[in-house]
Amino acid sequence: QVQLVESGGGLVQAGGSLRLSCAASGRTFSTYAMGWFRQAPGKEREFVAAINWSGDSTSYADSLKGRFTISRDNAKNTVYLQMNSLKPEDTAVYYCSAAMNLRTLVAGNGGGWGQGTRVTVSS
């Protein structure tokens, strides 16, 4: 079972950028597809992006394509989410998760959830 710790959140003005990191423990990190999700106040958790085990296949929520980029470094057991042109509606707690394949993450499922990192975008 992989354990995940998110970091990199904070307060940023609209139009700014942040890079989130998710550090994973365990020797099997490179075998998992990884994903990012977010939960805004009063809303359900939603899928943001996912990347397969090797990093050569990604998937994004349609509304976020072009602004967010997911990547991973298997040597560092870390997955990243680069967020550009941030908007107030991007304000949420961001979580990473692991699964055996992209399809599971895109469907909203995953495991090894971290504690999340809070992103606040001011207008």
Alpha helices in 1-123 (DSSP H): 102-106
CA dihedral 82, 88, 90, 93 (to 10 degrees): 100
Residue spans of the chain under pLDDT 70: none
Token code pair at residue 28: 């099997």
Q: How far is CA 86 from CA 34, 106, 123, in A?
A: 22, 22, 10
Predicted confidence at residue 2, as pLDDT, reads 83
The pLDDT value recorded for residue 28 is 86
Question: Kind of pairing, strands 46-51 and 18-25?
Answer: unpaired
Q: Which residues pair with 59 in a beta bridge?
A: 50
Rounded to an integer, what distance in angstroms lies between the CA atom of residue 68 and that of residue 48?
A: 8
* 98-118 residue pLDDT tens: 999 999 999 988 888 889 999
* CA separation for the pair 31, 27 (Å, rounded): 9
- Give the list of residues 6+ apart from residue 65 with CB closer than 8 angstroms, or none: none
> What percent of the chain clears pLDDT 70, i.e. is strictly above it?
100
Q: What is the pLDDT of residue 77?
A: 94
Position 7 scores a pLDDT of 98
